[in-house]
Amino acid sequence: MDKHALNEPEVRPPRWADRFLAWYCAPELLDEIQGDLHEAFHRRRKKYNLRKAQRMFVAEVLLFCKPSSFPKFDYPYHLINMPGMISNYLKIAGRNTLKNKVFSLINIFGLAIGLAACFLILQYVHFELSYDQFHEQADRIYRVIREGGRTKGATNHPGVGPALKADFPEVQEYARAVHQSIFIGNLTTWSYIDEAGEVTVFNEERVYNVDPSFLTMFSFPFVYGNPEHAFPNTSAVVISESISKKFFGSDNPMGKTLLLNGQRPFTVTGVFQDVPENSHIQFDILVSYFFTEGWGGEWNHNWDWRWPEYFTYVLLNPQAKAEALEAKFSDFAQQYLGEQMKELNEEERFFLQPVADIHLKSPQLTKEQEVHGNAQTVYFLLLIAMMILLIAWINYINLSTSKSIERAQEVGLRKVAGASRTQLITQFLFESAIVNFLAMGVSLILVMVTLPFFNQLTGKNIGTTMLDLVLVKEYWFWLILAGVFVFGSCCAGLYPAFVLSSFRITTVLKGKFIRSRSGTTMRKILVGFQFVISIALIAGTIMVFRQVTYMRNQDMGYVKDQLLIVKSPRIVDSTLQQRLETFKTELSRNPDIHRMAPSSDIPGKLISQLNFIRNRGEGTDENSIAYHVYIDRDFIETYGLTMVAGRNFREEERLPPPDQRTDPVPVMVNEKAAASLGYHEGEEALHQLIIFGLGPGEWVGEIIGVVSNHHQQSLKADYDPLLFFPIPGLLGQYFTINLSMQRPSETISFIEQQYEAAFPDNPFEYFFLDDYFNRQYAADQQFGSVFGLFSGLALIVACLGLFGLSTFMISQRIKEIAIRKVLGANLTSMVLLFSGDFLKLILIANLCALPLVYLAVNQWLNNFAFHVNIGWLMFVLPAVTLLLISLTTVSIQTIKTGLKNPIKSLRAE
Amino acid sequence: MYICYTSINEIQMIENLGHLEESVLLLVMIVEEAYGVSIGEAYEKKTGQSISIPAIHTVLKRLEKKGMVRSRMGAATAERGGRRKRIFEATPYGFKVIAEIRENRLQLWSLIPKLDIQHG
Residue of A nearest to B84 (CA): A31
Listed as own residue / partner, the contacts of B12-15 with beta carbons closer than 8 Å and 24 or more positions apart are B13/B66, B13/B68, B13/B97, B14/B97, B14/B100, B14/B101, B14/B104
Answer yes or no: is pLDDT of B90 > 90: yes
Q: Which of A31, A42, A43 is the closest to B83 by Cβ?
A: A31
Instruction: Please check the confidence at residue B4 and state whether its pLDDT lies above 60.
Output: no
Give A21-57 pLDDT, tens digit per residue: 988 888 888 888 999 999 999 998 888 888 899 999 9
For chain A, what is the domain count?
5
CA neighbor of B51 nearest in space, from B88, B79, B20, B26: B20
ipTM: 0.83
Asked whether the predicted pLDDT for residue A242 surpasses 80, the reply is: yes
| Residue to substitute from A18, A36, A56, interface B, most B β-carbons within 10 A | A36
Distance from CA of A74 to the nearest CA of B (A): 19
Given the DSSP bridges, would you call strands A141-148 and A207-210 parallel, antiparallel or unpaired?
unpaired
A382 in any annotated domain: yes
Give the residue-averaged pLDDT of A297-302: 56
Given B35, B54, B83, which is nearest A63 (Cβ)? B54
Interface test with B, best of A32, A33, A61 (most B CBs within 10 A): A32
pLDDT of residue B116: 58
Within this chain, do residues A347 and A205 fall inside the same structural domain, yes or no? yes
Residue from the list A34, A56, A64 with its beta carbon closest to the beta carbon of B83: A34
Chain B CB contacts of A64 under 8 Å are 53-54, 57
pLDDT at site B2: 41
- Specify which residues A726 forms β-bridges with: A631
> Do residue A157 and residue A9 come from a single domain?
no
Residue in A36, A37, A63 nearest the CB of B35: A36
pLDDT, tens digit (0-9, with 9 covering 90-100), for A847-897 = 888 888 889 888 888 888 888 888 888 888 888 888 888 888 888 888 888
Would you call A34 and B81 a contact, using CB atoms and an 8 Å cutoff?
yes
- Find the closest chain B residue to A61 by CA distance: B54
Stretch among A198-202, A455-459, A663-667, A772-776 having the lowest mean pLDDT: A455-459
Dump pLDDT digits (tens) for A799-814.
887 887 787 777 777 8
Residues A545 and A470 placed together within one structural domain of the fold = no
Q: Do A35 and B76 touch (CB under 8 A)?
A: yes
pLDDT at A510 (0 to 100): 65
Residues of B in CB contact (< 8 Å) with A are 35-37, 40-41, 52-55, 57-58, 61, 73, 76-77, 79-81, 83-86
SS3 B64: helix
| Whether residue A587 sits in one domain with residue A471 | no
pLDDT (0 to 100) of residue A317: 92
Q: What is the pLDDT of residues A98-124, one digit of tens each?
A: 888 888 888 888 888 888 888 888 888
Q: Whole-angstrom Cα distance, residue A848 to residue A172? A: 55
* Owning domain of residue B53: 2-119
Are A502 and A403 in a shared domain?
Answer: yes
Chain B nearest-CA distance from A474, in A, is 59
State mean pLDDT over A251-267. Answer: 88
When divided into structural domains, chain B yields a total of: 1
The closest CB to that of B83, out of A38, A64, A68, belongs to: A38
CB A40 to CB B53 under 8 A?
yes
Residue A615: inside a domain, yes or no?
Answer: yes
Nearest CA in chain A to B85: A32
Range of the domain at A338: 138-361
Nearest to A35 among B40, B52, B83 (CB): B83
Distances (CA, A) of A11 to A33, A39, A43, A711: 19, 12, 12, 92
Average pLDDT of every residue of chain A: 82
Is A721 within the bounds of a domain?
Answer: yes
Contact B58 A30 (CB under 8 A): no
Indicate whether A75 belongs to any domain. Answer: no
On whether both A177 and A280 belong to a single domain, the answer is: yes
Q: What angle do CA A369, A779, A185 make, to 5 degrees?
A: 30
Q: Which amino acid is at A60?
A: E
pLDDT above 50 for A4: no
CB contact under 8 A, B53 and A37: yes
> Do residues A524 and A623 share a domain?
no
pLDDT exceeds 80 at position A485: yes
Contact B83 A63 (CB under 8 A): no
Q: Does B52 sit within 8 Å of A68, measured CB to CB?
A: no
CB contact under 8 A, A31 and B41: no
Same domain, A509 and A519: no
A450-470 confidence digits (pLDDT tens): 887 887 777 666 655 555 555
Gap from A427 CA to chain B (nearest CA, Å):
40
Q: How confident is the model over A697-743, as pLDDT tens digits?
A: 678 888 999 999 988 888 877 888 999 988 876 667 788 898 888 88
Q: Is residue A366 part of a domain?
A: no
A18, closest residue in chain B (CA to CA):
B81
Q: Tell which of B31, B33, B35, B37 to mutate to test the A interface (max A CBs under 10 Å).
A: B37
Q: Cβ contacts (< 8 Å) between A43 and chain B: which residues?
A: 37, 41
What is the C-alpha separation between A1 and A14, in angstroms, rounded?
Answer: 18
| Chain B residues near residue A38 by CB distance under 8 angstroms | 79-81, 83
- CB-CB neighbors (< 8 A) of B54 in chain A: 60, 63-64
Same domain for A197 and A123: no
Q: Name the residue among A881, A882, A900, A886 with its Cα closest to residue A803.
A: A886
- Coil, strand or helix: which one is A858? helix
Torsions phi, psi of A614, nearest 5? -155, 160
Q: Residue A156 pairs with which residues in a beta bridge?
A: A310
CA pair distance A540, A739, nearest whole angstrom: 39
SS3 B85: strand
User: To the nearest whole angstrom, how far is the Cα of B58 from the nearest Cα of chain A?
Assistant: 9
Q: Which residues contact A420 (CB under 8 A, 6 or more apart)?
A: none
A76 in any annotated domain: no
Mean pLDDT of A193-218: 88
List, for residues A214-227, the tens digit of each pLDDT value: 999 999 999 999 98
Between A416 and A295, residue with greater pLDDT = A416
Q: Given this model, what pLDDT does residue A77 score?
A: 67
pLDDT reading at A444 higher than 70: yes
Query: Cβ separation of B36 and A36 shorter than 8 Å?
Result: yes
Give the one of A35, A59, A63 whose C-beta lies nearest to B80's C-beta: A35
How many beta-carbon contacts under 8 Å exist across A and B?
60
Q: Kindly list the residues of chain A whose beta carbon comes within 8 Å of any beta carbon in chain B.
A: 30-40, 42-43, 56, 59-60, 63-64, 68
- Among A714, A747, A777, give the residue marking a domain's end: A777
Q: Which of A341, A361, A381 is the last residue of a domain?
A: A361
Higher pLDDT, A294 or A785: A785
What are residue A666's DSSP bridge partners?
A702
- Over range B5-23, report the average pLDDT: 63
Same domain for A865 and A769?
Answer: no
The per-residue pLDDT for A269 is 92
pLDDT digits (tens, 9 = 90+) for A587-630: 888 888 888 888 888 888 777 777 788 888 777 777 788 888 88
Q: In the listed set A743, A777, A811, which residue is the last one of a domain according to the structure?
A: A777
Is residue A466 domain-shared with residue A393, that is, in the same domain?
yes
Contacts of residue B37 in chain A, CB cutoff 8 Å?
A: 36, 39-40, 43
Question: Which CATH number goes with the domain that contains B91?
Answer: 1.10.10.10
Of B37, B52, B58, the CB nearest to A43: B37
Q: Phi, psi (5° rounding) for residue A511?
A: 85, 15
Instruction: Spell out the residues 6+ positions from residue A779 whose beta carbon is closer than 8 angstroms to its own.
Output: A371, A373, A374
Q: Assess whether A16 and A104 both reside in one domain.
A: no
Report yes or no on A693 lying in a domain.
yes
